[in-house]
Amino acid sequence: MLSLVILVPAILNGLLTGAVYGLVALGLTLIYGVLHIINFAHGALLTAAMFAAFFAHRFLGLDPYVATIVLTPLFFALGYCLQRFVIGPAAHGEDRNILLVTLGLAVVIENVLLYAFGGDTRTLNLDYAFNVVDLGIAFLAVPRVIGFGIVLAVALVLWLILSLTDTGKAIRAVAKEKLGAELSGIDVAHIYAVTFGLGTACLAIAACLLIPTYYVNPHVGNAFVLVAFTIVVLGGMGSVTGALVGGLFIGVVESLSGLYLGESLGQIGIFVMFILVLLFRPSGLFGERA
């Protein structure tokens, strides 16, 4: 077996990556939990957010952590408008149509980025990207440690919003019982859009956390999102804690299997894991609503 010197950093790094996975999964599970739709556009939206963060630095000189302040409300608004004015109306409420509409959006977003910016992979070169925190037993990249902290903060803020604010309570009401919520006077279309906006906002934050240490190209979001889908199914569709805990778990699993299996096989590993999770979860826990 591998020694602790190799294992512990792998596990710790896995946790740090896992936190960001968890944030992406959080957005997805929120959207599923309330709107009961699988958002196929989630990956493309993450890619768009990463491009936005990249160019915020390239053209506006904004440090990614600062860019978060600008991009989060921007992407919240984008998500709100997409759900309110595109997805909601186009789908006419039918599940099959929502699938296709979000797929169509994903194709549009991803290929607009491809058309506008080309297929090249880019990276940001930040001064502090290579700083490390020395824990003795492991060296951890500073941006990733900060990222971990921010994810926890975001989770807390989200929890506060959902428990304490009126909108948050409305969201929970709609998630539990849409008809009842509607009859109590809640504007369901608005709540759906707010939830979608929150999910997209999570992506904006995740993008800013990733960009210091990760590359960006028009397809980058897909890998993250497939992991996020896996986490959401594992952790329970609609469960916020499930998304975070699942994220951390998957992060560690990915890190350890990277150790044992290597890089290229790792990519397939994510997809295979995804397929296996879908095949072997009892169908009663997901799938068509009863």
| C-alpha distance from residue 193 to each of 76, 81, 113, 207 (Å) | 9, 7, 24, 21
Of 59 and 280, which CB lies nearer to another protein in the complex structure?
280
Tell me which of 111, 121, 163, 165 binds another protein, using CB under 8 A.
111
Tell me which of 95, 157, 184, 260 binds another protein, using CB under 8 A.
95
Of 97 and 163, which CB lies nearer to another protein in the complex structure?
97
Tell me which of 4, 5, 77, 100 binds another protein, using CB under 8 A.
100
At 53, give phi and psi (nearest 5°): -65, -40
Angle, helices 166-176/188-210, rounded to nearest 10 degrees: 110
Pure H helices in the chain: 4-35, 42-60, 64-81, 88-91, 95-117, 142-164, 166-176, 178-183, 188-210, 220-235, 240-261, 263-280
287 binds another protein (CB under 8 A): yes
Which residues within the stretch 164-223 sit at the binding site for another protein (CB under 8 A)? 218
89 binds another protein (CB under 8 A): yes
- Which distant-in-sequence residues (6+ apart) come within 8 Å of 252 by Cβ? 11, 14, 15, 18
259 binds another protein (CB under 8 A): no
Tell me which of 101, 151, 208, 231 binds another protein, using CB under 8 A.
101
- Closest approach, Cβ 26 to another protein, in A, equals 18
Structure tokens at 158: 């989200």
At 262, give phi and psi (nearest 5°): 90, 175
- Closest approach, Cβ 136 to another protein, in A, equals 38
Which residues within the stretch 44-83 sit at the binding site for another protein (CB under 8 A)? none
Kindly calculate the radius of gyration of the chain based on its CA atoms and give it in whole angstroms: 19
- Closest approach, Cβ 271 to another protein, in A, equals 5
Of 85 and 128, which CB lies nearer to another protein in the complex structure?
85
Tell me which of 3, 61, 96, 127 binds another protein, using CB under 8 A.
96
Which SS3 state, helix, strand or coil, does residue 214 take? coil
DSSP symbol at 123:
-
Q: What residues make contact with another protein under the rule CB under 8 A?
A: 37-38, 40, 86, 89-92, 94-97, 99-101, 103-115, 118-119, 218, 226, 229, 264, 267-268, 271-272, 274-275, 278-280, 283, 286-288
